[in-house]
Amino acid sequence: MSRQSRRDFLQQSSALAAACWVGSSSQAWTQEKSANSAIRFACIGVDGKGASDRDDAGRHGDIVALCDIDEERLEKAALRFPKAKKYVDFRKMFDEMADGIDAVTVSTPDHTHAPASVRAMKLGKHTFCQKPLTHSVAEARMMRELAAEKKLCTQMGNQGTASGGLREAVEIIRKGDIGAVKEIHIWTNRPIWPQGGGRPVGTEECPKHIHWDQFLGPAKDRPYNSAYQPFKWRGWLDFGTGALGDMACHTMNMSVMALQLFNPISIEANPDPEWTGDARKESYPKNCTIKYEFGPRGNLGPCTLYWYDGGKRPSEDLLLGEKQNASGSLVIGEKGRIFSSNDYHGDYLILPKAEFLEYKKPPYLASPGHFTEFANAIKEGKPELAMSNFDYAARLSETVLLGNVALQAGKKVEWDGVNMKVTNDSAANQLITREYRKGWEL
């Protein structure tokens, strides 16, 4: 790909990062260490999704520390990396090993993404954090600003960003080959875990291998229950971000990147009508639809994005005869449509097919691999090499998480993105951030 095309691609997805990070402190890493030095990784959350992030880190450097609140999972990971020090509390890990760590992976439940990542970044550690980047909108803004201030290499774990299909589709939309886009539809088969109910009743003894206080982290104290951990935490307000948080950083990624869908002017949610009472205070609804309105953005006109989960879907007629699967995304332009039933946009169709039979697809910047981008950014002192760096990923996460703000607000939310403020409901501004349990503050 030509240098000019490459620069255009990077500027649109991460313009601020490219401008601010020239001559960054991450270059000092390459100056202080020889070209053969290994990146020293600490991995926080080492099983489940954390297992693949941990193994990626092991392929690109040395794992010097492993941290997990589940000792059984921790010991399992230690069998693969016996030289790594083991911890159940990342705060203690940083207190003891800060000088021996270059970068971290954070693959924990959503509510501890920011507490772990912010602590790492304040210590000058390059950070790979799973999606959604944070639990709250304010945390996402803070992590974007902190990464820029500290001039760190970062990457959010939405692996589809490295997909050739996604990058190619982004270029098609940016070129204007499907025309001006005014409407987008995104749907998912999530949730695939229990949600929509109240707090579980009764008490359970916490298994000895689970460190419950460390799992709770910044969340308010509550007794252990197997309804929360492992995996089922996603459906609870205090721990997860629901179906939207789980999948939208994947499924919205292509359209957000192509069309700069940051700072919507309004967001309105329509949840399951049975989502009332205690259930509304504790968990996310069984299903919902969310409407995001975006105003003009540079040379791009107004646009509406519709989100559907829990079995809700757009009209099948919009797909012009194509099969509607359980998950998918559809970008509707004035000249054509891009449809993908792949959550990561690894493949897609341009519709109507008959009108694009002779279409020549544009070039795009190929990726060496999602985690490899992060490692290369650190080694070369070029944060912009990681395409889902926090300058982009935090903006994407803000867009996603504003859907949960509207969901909990129970009304249409009008948003001032520059000042990070709900303008039509002062009470809803409390939903932009969260309270932190003592000892877990940012």
User: Which domain CATH number covers 376?
Assistant: 3.40.50.720
Confidence of residue 77 (pLDDT cuts 50, 70, 90): very high
Q: Does residue 255 lie within any of the structural domains? A: yes
CATH number at residue 233: 3.30.360.10
Confidence of residue 14 (pLDDT cuts 50, 70, 90): very low
Domain residues for the domain of 373 are 3-161+368-394
Is-cis flag, bond preceding 191, omega within 30? yes
- Is the domain of 27 the same as that of 71? yes
- Is the domain of 403 the same as that of 378? no
| Model pLDDT for residues 190-224, shown as the tens digit of each residue | 999 999 999 999 889 999 999 999 999 999 999 99
| Model pLDDT for residues 91-141, shown as the tens digit of each residue | 999 999 999 999 999 999 999 999 999 999 999 999 999 999 999 999 999
- Is the domain of 142 the same as that of 196? no
Prediction pTM value? 0.93
The pLDDT value recorded for residue 431 is 98
- Is the domain of 276 the same as that of 350? yes
- Is the domain of 210 the same as that of 245? yes
